[in-house]
Amino acid sequence: MMAKFLHTNINVLDLERSREFYERALGLRTLRRRDGDGFSLLFLGDGTTEHQLELTWLADRAEPYDLGDNESHIAFEVGDFASAHKAHSDMGCICYENHVMGIYFIEDPDGYWIEIIPRGE
């Protein structure tokens, strides 16, 4: 069996705040939205790959999601690592840097970690 990787889902408390973060921090853009009874789904893409990030908002959720030890993360590669680092530093969203590996992590408004890797690593 061959399977095609389509999207990664995360649940968010404020759909608009999360959309703005992913647009500003990573350049993702809204591809489509689906609204239903008590939920909204927003699919974001990078414009170069088919993989999408699905943000799910649930109307009955008010408290932050339990992310456990937060060992799960999403990874993005960037072409200009220094510029990305400066932009994320200016945004105040860098939460961990691993200088030995040459990577760092940013944190989204809901506490999810996103790994930033220089292109070619």
Angle at 15 between CA 10 and CA 17, to 5 degrees: 110
**Contact criterion met (CB below 8 Å) for 115 and 76:** yes
Q: Give the active site residues.
A: 115
Q: Which two tokens stand for residue 62?
A: 């008010």
Q: Which helix (H) or strand (E) holds 35?
A: strand 29-36
Of 115, 121, 112, 78, residue with least CA distance to 10: 112
